[in-house]
């Protein structure tokens, strides 16, 4: 009887909790929240142990408050960047398609309201890398960034022999001629995927420039938040390194004191060292991806991705040089969806040529 009453009380408390916090009813979101809570607790434990046992650090704080203030500022900035990145959108294909359709609908209303000649009609520009949609000009591509100028009538009409929308035509222009819509359509979202997009089974959405699904963040890393993810790794690495230095400084000054405190500090320092090695490798790996304009998915599954299967591994098809890759990664506004077409055979042949001194002087590699 007592066991039944206890179970009934627990069920009622659980129901009330789920009513107050509906997000906890989803097992996936519940596990993500638990991981986030665990990560915050780990940060608090590593930093709190220092201020509890290290008397020298407390004394140094009184003499040089700026040192501890900088450490605490980095601590808060790292956690803030973590939650900022986890709550950001990676750039979903459905959102990009919706924005494009809204821009196209706006273009249609303006075109219908205008009675002037076609050359004076208003132009609707939708940012897809360097994408411009104008009137009465054929489609063309240039310099690896797609520049599409489409006749308004052809843009609205379905493609020959199909009921494809303007979004479908836009995306198919980014693939080589002869590509099949069936091969480019996601079987889960039923949407035509632009190059470098992939369906994430954890998020159940297609992501632009899909990199990977981060379990610790509880979200995908893609075009919209890859830069924020890199900065989070960088801040986490610096914080981990600084904390490790503080632990080593404490052990050097207090190694002959209370042994049980030293055991705790050594165990924490050992786990901190393992985390630092992992973070350093992850930071270097993603720095390489940024400099070559690649994603983790493209690098790991290159032989299985249809549009990369026939390209030599030494060729980086989407790289535009070190400087331009860094500029695009760091300075591109996150509110604009960018999509890159597949390079032509001529561009691939040009990228496959080895760099020479003349290329370096002419900034071809940059």
Active-site residue list: 214
Phi and psi, residue 160, nearest 5°: -60, 125
Assign 213 to helix, strand or coil. strand
Instruction: Describe the crossing of helices 226-254 and 322-331 by its angle, rounded to 10 degrees.
Output: 90
How far apart CA 198 and CA 220 sit, in angstroms, is 11
User: How many C-alpha atoms does 344 have within 13 Å on its Cβ side?
Assistant: 11
8 A C-beta contact, residue 326 and residue 291: yes
Interacting residues of 152 by C-beta distance below 8 A, sequence separation 6+: 107, 111, 118, 121, 135, 136
Which residue in 208, 223, 196, 225 sits closest to 299, CA to CA?
A: 196
Distance CA 160, CA 150 (A): 16
The residues with which 185 forms a beta bridge, in sequence order, are 192
The two three-digit tokens of residue 299, written as one number? 């690098």
Q: Could you tell me if 166 and 107 are in contact, meaning their C-beta atoms sit under 8 angstroms apart?
A: no
| Residues 72, 48 contacting (CB under 8 angstroms) | no
């Amino acid at each position: 009887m007592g066991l039944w009453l206890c179970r009934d009380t627990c069920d009622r408390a659980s129901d009330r909790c789920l009513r107050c916090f509906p997000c906890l009813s989803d097992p996936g979101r519940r596990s993500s929240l638990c991981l986030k809570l665990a990560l915050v607790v780990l940060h608090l434990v590593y930093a709190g142990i220092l201020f509890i046992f290290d008397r020298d650090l407390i004394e140094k704080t009184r003499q040089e408050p700026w040192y501890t203030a900088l450490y605490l500022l980095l601590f808060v900035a790292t956690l803030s960047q973590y939650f900022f990145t986890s709550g950001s959108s990676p750039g979903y294909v459905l959102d990009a398609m919706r924005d494009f359709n809204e821009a196209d609908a706006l273009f249609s209303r303006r075109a219908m309201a205008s009675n002037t000649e076609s050359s004076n009609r208003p132009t609707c520009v939708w940012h897809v890398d360097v994408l411009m949609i104008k009137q009465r000009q054929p489609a063309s591509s240039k310099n690896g960034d797609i520049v599409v100028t489409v006749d308004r009538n052809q843009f609205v009409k379905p493609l020959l022999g199909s009921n494809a929308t303007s979004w479908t035509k836009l995306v198919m222009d980014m693939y080589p001629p002869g590509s099949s819509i069936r091969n480019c359509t996601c079987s889960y979202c039923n949407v035509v995927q632009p190059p470098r997009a992939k369906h994430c089974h954890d998020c159940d959405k297609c992501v632009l420039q899909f990199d990977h699904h981060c379990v610790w963040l509880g979200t995908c890393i893609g075009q919209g938040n890859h830069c924020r993810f890199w900065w989070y790794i960088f801040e986490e690495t610096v914080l981990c390194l600084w904390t490790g230095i503080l632990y080593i400084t404490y052990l050097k000054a207090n190694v002959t004191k209370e042994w049980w405190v030293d055991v705790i500090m050594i165990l924490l320092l050992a786990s901190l060292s393992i985390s630092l090695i992992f973070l350093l490798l992850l930071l270097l790996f993603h720095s390489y991806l940024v400099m070559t304009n690649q994603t983790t998915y493209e690098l790991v599954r290159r032989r299985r991705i249809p549009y990369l299967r026939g390209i030599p591994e030494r060729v980086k098809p989407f790289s535009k040089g070190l400087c331009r890759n860094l500029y695009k990664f760091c300075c591109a506004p996150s509110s604009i969806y960018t999509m890159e077409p597949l390079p032509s055979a001529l561009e691939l042949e040009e990228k496959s040529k080895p760099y020479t001194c003349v290329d370096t002087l002419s900034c071809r590699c940059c």
